[in-house]
Amino acid sequence: MPAAPYILGLSAYYHDAAAALTRGGEILAAAQEERFTRRKNDERFPAQAIAYCLRQAGLTLRQLDAVVFYDKPILKFARLLESYLAVAPAGLGVFPRIVPSWLTEKLDLRKTLRRELPELREDCALLFTEHHQAHAASAFYPSPFRAAAILTIDGVGEWATTAIGRGEGNQIAPLKEVRFPHSLGLLYSAFTAYCGFRINSGEYKLMGLAPYGEPKYAEAIRRELLQVHEDGSFWLNLDYFHFLRGTTMTNERFHTLFGGPPRAPEGPLEPRHLDLARSIQVVTEEAVLKLARHACAATGLRHLCLAGGVALNCVANGRILRAGICERLWIQPAASDAGGALGAALAAWHLHYGGTRAVGGASGSDGGDAMQAALLGPAYTDEEIALTLRGHQAVYQRLDRAQLLDRTVELLAAEKVVGWFQGRMEFGPRALGNRSILGDPRSPRMQSAMNLKVKFRESFRPFAPVVRRARAADYFELTADSPYMLLVAPVRPELRQPLPPGVTGLALLKEARSTLPAVTHVDYSARVQTVTREQNPLLDELLERWEAATGCAVLVNTSFNVRGEPIVCTPDDAYRCFVNTEMDYLAMGSYLLDRTAQPQQRLARRVAPQPD
């Protein structure tokens, strides 16, 4: 075995397929397949993500020492068999639809890997982690902690849906788990689907909708659907769910309990949908807090690491921090299945090869973790960007660094919306300042304008603030780092503005909630991203110049995409998205573009048809 083997981690075949490449525990590259195929949440074999990772490291497939898949297909197939047989004949209408893919590419995954990656050496190891083991590895190994409690929560892996473990040094010891069909992730997804949003991507919308409602159904959920014990273990009443028997999440009993049939996608949002969103959010937070408290108690540790799809619930994460359950909290930025690819590679290095672990990563300078600010995707040179722009006959200016920063500050101060395409693409669901759209948070029109004219998404969805770490506590009740936009914190009381009495529901959208209305949600909260010079020098300097010019240290930061599309990856993706929206300017590398100066033809966006 080489002293520092090249290990490729993969996730695929459920949602958010991804690839990650490591060497000796150092993360070299990681990316989701969707960014290249332009098919949101693409679950297919991550061929293009693999190709990128190899290019980034200057490798070929023959130089890989191991390929690691993020779960164990035989265990997962056994769970599917047992689950459908347990409810037979009710599930037999669905089961024949899933069998063909299992009998071809999924079950004999070694054969699939050799077929998809034919240049692998014969002695290249093909390894498999368990699903929650990959999540736990992605949470602990890149964290800044020598020892920590680990909590992973998602829909389902092989059997586990929730797991608690202890990480210390280069070892992870599993302690407890909750098994399918009892799942907080599936419960939240059931409400996501019932409220008319798409599973595995609409959960963010449900979380964003929650503050507009009241928890009127919380007691019904606790009484009828979910029993949570003091140690956080829980039990679902399956009489209200249909996911074992068919392709829908809920059944008529569920619909009767909550007042009617599921909302049709794009249908009107009724007050009960707002109340349902608030109710399931409240109940989920209660369960997550109990699990987090028990994870720390069971391990005797005061540092906590989170991963799994439910760890993207940044409202619950913020509550963990404010409740004082742990001294420090670290959340894997690619917490869902995409991060499983990274976790699989890291688990192989530490657990299979017995590799050493350098706490804080190779540099130790990015806040103490090894994620390199999650900027692990492809970057493009000015020459590559210029080639794309010339191909589109685009009109642009080339500026030096200082000119670009100062001009961007001027545009933002004039309430212009600026696309910001710089450096390496982010890994995970959040744009963290390299594939972002920026705006002035002080503008009362910014949230509506960005949602409806740029993002083409629901007007109720909030935007996140980005702020220099040293200034965060002046605007938000936040004392911890939040580099990955995974913590919600209250806006400071002195910045809040009272809401008129009697205004409720979506009517609250029209009311300014604070002196930063574009990033303040209706409950006076914000999903905060903190930045340091070490993590992202260019973004940090932009914020510094913005504050010097305006006295405000905060900007709006939302992902560079429109509704239903992945975040842009290439200069071509960025230009097409830019000219097809009402975004005002695009700062891409050293180039600045005014949308009104571009050729007037509308360009087809490079987006693949989405699966049903």
Q: Which residues are part of the catalytic machinery?
A: 15
Indicate the helix (H) or strand (E) that contains 48. Answer: helix 47-57
Other C-beta atoms within 10 Å of 111: how many? Answer: 12
Query: In which residue are the tokens 């990959």 written?
Result: 134
3-state DSSP call for residue 530?
strand
DSSP-assigned letter for residue 215: -
Query: In which residue are the tokens 């989701």 written?
Result: 32
Helix 571-579 to helix 382-391 angle, to the nearest 10 degrees?
50
Cα(595)–Cα(576) distance, integer angstroms: 11
Question: No. of H helices and E strands in the chain?
Answer: 18, 21
Indicate the helix (H) or strand (E) that contains 228. Answer: strand 226-228
Cα(77)–Cα(95) distance, integer angstroms: 11
- The 3-class secondary structure across 483-524, one letter per residue, is CCCCEEEEECHHHECCCCCCCCHHHHHHCCCECCHHHCCCCC
- Contact of 513 with 495, CB cutoff 8 Å: no
- Contact of 520 with 475, CB cutoff 8 Å: no
DSSP-assigned letter for residue 454: I
Alpha carbon of residue 332 to chain centroid: 9
Closest CA to 157 of 179, 125, 124: 179
3-state DSSP call for residue 75?
helix
Q: What angle do CA 365, 366, 372 make, to 5 degrees?
A: 120
Other C-beta atoms within 10 Å of 148: how many? Answer: 27
Query: In which residue are the tokens 């392709």 written?
Result: 247
3-state DSSP call for residue 164?
strand
- Contact of 72 with 232, CB cutoff 8 Å: no
Cα(45)–Cα(42) distance, integer angstroms: 9
Distance linking the first and last C-alpha atoms of the chain: 44
Closest CA to 189 of 175, 212, 206: 206
- Contact of 490 with 524, CB cutoff 8 Å: yes
Cα(583)–Cα(600) distance, integer angstroms: 14
3-state DSSP call for residue 313?
coil
Q: In the β-sheet with 18-23, what is the strand arrangement from edge to edge?
A: 26-32, 18-23, 6-11, 66-69, 125-128
Cα(71)–Cα(447) distance, integer angstroms: 40
Q: In the β-sheet with 487-490, what is the strand arrangement from edge to edge?
A: 397-398, 591-594, 585-588, 418-421, 435-439, 554-559, 464-468, 525-531, 487-490
Indicate the helix (H) or strand (E) that contains 234. Answer: strand 234-236
